[in-house]
């Protein structure tokens, strides 16, 4: 069995070098498709991550306090807010703390805030919700409490972000499925040329009693090898692209959403395994489809 597998792998490499042009074209096509696929994967994962971050950040109620409202009064409010259903936590945010958060979010442009003669931000209570559906009721109650100037609840904004995220992720899944199908067809056509070129040889091998596996093995491994080479090249290129994107877009994402993009190490590690599995699957499926058609397998 091992000898047969080794022979098939050796023959697979021979066939690949014999059809160098088509092999290179297949590797190039599959690599290009995997690169596009990786961009959609990067987009989908980061959109999901940013959506969860936005939900955590904006799934809150900001209760702005009047200037004359003391911290002791605010602490009493916090106690009553925490007792409400749907409230996970409530904390006091001073105007000084709020200004520091603004400076962090503005990043390199934070110097623009240094020209302010006084802090225009109010003291506030930040309520974290355990259930967004309770937010409207809680927000209306907070607005009636004495000492409160204004209440902000970002439920509509969160809903829009979630809807956009769902559309992007569904679209990415459709594109990914389409690219995988096209890759399988490309490999299938490559193996098909090999089968056609060896048609007489295969017929003779059948006459002298060669087993089906002995005939199919080289073509099966050829498809897998093409898939693995494409996966390796794609992982390398997509890693370089994503690291570069993180450097270029990381600061903008932080200023907009107060969070960075998904760490390259985490995402690239997962991409390696996904692409290796995908490369093997695409190569194997393409080979099987081609052999079923031309070898009556």
Question: What is the spatial distance between Cα 83 and Cα 104, in angstroms, rounded to a whole number?
Answer: 32
Residue 297 has a pLDDT of 46
Question: What is the spatial distance between Cα 194 and Cα 222, in angstroms, rounded to a whole number?
Answer: 10
Question: What is the spatial distance between Cα 160 and Cα 148, in angstroms, rounded to a whole number?
Answer: 28
Instruction: Give the model confidence (pLDDT) of 231-276 as tens digits.
Output: 899 888 888 888 887 777 766 555 555 556 777 777 788 888 888 8
Residue 210 has a pLDDT of 66
Residue 175 has a pLDDT of 81
Residue 255 has a pLDDT of 53
Low-confidence ranges of the chain (pLDDT < 70): 1-5, 7, 54-58, 105-117, 156-158, 187, 190-202, 205, 210-213, 250-260, 290-297
pTM of the model: 0.61
Residue 271 has a pLDDT of 82
Question: What is the spatial distance between Cα 267 and Cα 252, in angstroms, rounded to a whole number?
Answer: 19
Q: 172 vs 32, 161, 169, 250, CA distance in Å?
A: 16, 16, 5, 22
Set out the domains of the chain in order of their start, with CATH numbers. 2-54+159-294 (no CATH), 60-153 (3.30.70.3040)
Question: What is the spatial distance between Cα 37 and Cα 25, in angstroms, rounded to a whole number?
Answer: 18
């Amino acid at each position: 069995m091992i000898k047969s597998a080794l022979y098939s792998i050796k023959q697979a490499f021979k066939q690949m070098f014999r059809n160098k042009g088509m092999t290179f074209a297949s590797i190039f096509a599959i690599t290009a498709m995997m690169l596009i696929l990786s961009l959609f994967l990067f987009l989908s994962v980061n959109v999901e991550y940013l959506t969860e971050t936005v939900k955590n950040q904006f799934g809150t109620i900001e209760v702005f306090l009047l200037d004359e409202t003391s911290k002791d009064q605010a602490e009493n409010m916090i106690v009553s807010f925490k007792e409400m259903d749907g409230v996970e936590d409530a904390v006091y945010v001073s105007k000084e703390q709020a200004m520091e958060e603004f400076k962090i979010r503005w990043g390199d442009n934070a110097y623009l805030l240094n020209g302010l003669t006084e802090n225009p931000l109010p003291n506030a209570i930040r309520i974290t919700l355990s259930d967004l559906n309770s937010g409207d009721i809680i927000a209306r109650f907070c607005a009636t409490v004495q000492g409160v100037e204004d209440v902000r609840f970002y439920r509509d904004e969160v809903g829009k972000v979630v809807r956009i995220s769902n559309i992007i992720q569904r679209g990415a899944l459709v594109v990914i499925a389409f690219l995988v199908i096209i890759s399988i067809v490309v490999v299938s056509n490559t193996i098909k040329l090999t089968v056609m070129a060896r048609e007489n040889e295969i017929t003779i091998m059948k006459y002298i009693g060669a087993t089906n596996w002995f005939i199919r093995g080289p073509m099966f491994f050829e498809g897998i090898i093409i898939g693995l080479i494409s996966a390796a090249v794609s992982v390398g290129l997509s890693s370089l692209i994503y690291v570069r994107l993180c450097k270029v877009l990381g600061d903008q994402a932080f200023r907009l959403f107060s969070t960075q993009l998904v760490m390259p190490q985490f995402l690239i590690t997962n991409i390696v395994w996904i692409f290796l599995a995908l490369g093997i699957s695409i190569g194997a499926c393409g080979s099987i489809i081609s052999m079923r058609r031309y070898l009556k397998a």
